[in-house]
C-alpha cells in the first residue's frame, strides 16, 4: 500500500546546541515545507535560546529546552519523546548546523510511505567529505561494526526517518555522539528493516567544525569499551 506523503504527517526533530548562525534558516526552511518541527535546545550558551523565542507562539515549531547541556543523544531522546506524544506517521531527525538539504526529507521518507522499510538513514557521499571527517566517519563505521555487529555505510548521519512504530521501539541510552551507532544497534535488535538513501551534504566552515572528527571518534570508542566492561 502506497500512502501519499503529506508534510503534516511528518515531524522533524532538530537537536540544537549553540547553532545561532544556522538555526533560524534551518527552521524556516523546514516550516516552509509544511513539516511539524520539534527543536531541542540542548542547553545552548550562545544566542540560540533567544533566537528560538521567536517561535514561542508558533504551533508548527515547538521548542523544548534542556536547562543544561546533556549531549546529542539526550537531546534526540527528548525530541523523540515529544514527537511520539503527538503520534505523527513519520519522525525525521535533522541536524541544526545546516548540513542537510531539507528537500532530502522527502527522499528519506519515500521508502517508508511505500512501506518498503521501517527506518531510513540518509547516506552522505564520503567522496565529497573533507579528509579528517572522512576518516572520523570511517572509524565510527568500524566501531559500529565491531561493537554492535552492524555495518552501515554512514553510521553517523544525522538525517534519519522512522515510522511511528519503529520510533516507538528504539530506546537509546547514550547521551553523546555515540547515539548514532546505538540507533543502528537498536534497529537491528528490534528486527526493523533499515535502508540507506543517498543525501546531499552542504559543507560550510560550520558543518566541518562540528560533528564526527577523530577526537570524538576516540571518545566514543572509550565509552563503548567501558559500557562493555560494565555489562561483564
Partner 1 sequence: MLYQLIGVITGLIGIIISLKRFKEGKTSPTVFVIWLLAWLSLIIISISPYTTSYFANIMGIGRGLDLILILAIIGAYYLLFRIYIMIENIEMELTRLVRELALREEDEE
Question: What are the residues binding partner 1 (CB under 8 A)?
Answer: 40, 43, 56, 62-68, 70, 74, 77-78, 81-82, 85, 173, 175, 226, 230
Which H or E run contains 58? none
Least distance to partner 1 from the beta carbon of 219, Å? Answer: 15
Give the residue with the Cβ less far from partner 1, 117 or 179: 179
Least distance to partner 1 from the beta carbon of 57, Å? Answer: 9
Least distance to partner 1 from the beta carbon of 75, Å? Answer: 9
Least distance to partner 1 from the beta carbon of 7, Å? Answer: 22
Let me know the angle formed at the C-alpha of 201 by 138 and 184, rounded to the nearest 5 degrees. Answer: 45
CB 197 within 8 A of CB 107: yes
Give the residue with the Cβ less far from partner 1, 84 or 145: 84
- By CB neighbour count within 10 A (0-12 exposed, 13-18 middle, 19+ buried), where does 221 fall? middle
Give the residue with the Cβ less far from partner 1, 1 or 67: 67
Angle between helices 72-85 and 179-189 (to 10 degrees): 50
Give the residue with the Cβ less far from partner 1, 65 or 110: 65
Write out the three cell numbers for 22.
Answer: 544556522
Amino acid at each position: 500500500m502506497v500512502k501519499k506523503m503529506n508534510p503534516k504527517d511528518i515531524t522533524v526533530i532538530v537537536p540544537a546546541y549553540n547553532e545561532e548562525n544556522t538555526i533560524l534558516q534551518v527552521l524556516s526552511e523546514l516550516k516552509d515545507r509544511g513539516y511539524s518541527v520539534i527543536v531541542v535546545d540542548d542547553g545552548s550558551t550562545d544566542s540560540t535560546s533567544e533566537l528560538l523565542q521567536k517561535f514561542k507562539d508558533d504551533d508548527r515549531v515547538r521548542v523544548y529546552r534542556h536547562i543544561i547541556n546533556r549531549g546529542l543523544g539526550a537531546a534526540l531522546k527528548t525530541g523523540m519523546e515529544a514527537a511520539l506524544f503527538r503520534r505523527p506517521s513519520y519522525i525525521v531527525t535533522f541536524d541544526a548546523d545546516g548540513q542537510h538539504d531539507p528537500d532530502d526529507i522527502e527522499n528519506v521518507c519515500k521508502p517508508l510511505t511505500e512501506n518498503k522499510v521501517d527506518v531510513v538513514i540518509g547516506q552522505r557521499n564520503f567522496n565529497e567529505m573533507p579528509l579528517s571527517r572522512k576518516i572520523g566517519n570511517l572509524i565510527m563505521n568500524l566501531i559500529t561494526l565491531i561493537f554492535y555487529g552492524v555495518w552501515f555505510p554512514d553510521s553517523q548521519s544525522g538525517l534519519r526517518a522512522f515510522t511511528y512504530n519503529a520510533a516507538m521501539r528504539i530506546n537509546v541510552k547514550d547521551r553523546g555522539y555515540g547515539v548514532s551507532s546505538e540507533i543502528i544497534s537498536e534497529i537491528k535488535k528490534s528486527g526493523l528493516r533499515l535502508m540507506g538513501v543517498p543525501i546531499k551534504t552542504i559543507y560550510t566552515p560550520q558543518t566541518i567544525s562540528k560533528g564526527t572528527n577523530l577526537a570524538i571518534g576516540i571518545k566514543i570508542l572509550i565509552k563503548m569499551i567501558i559500557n562493555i566492561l560494565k555489562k561483564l
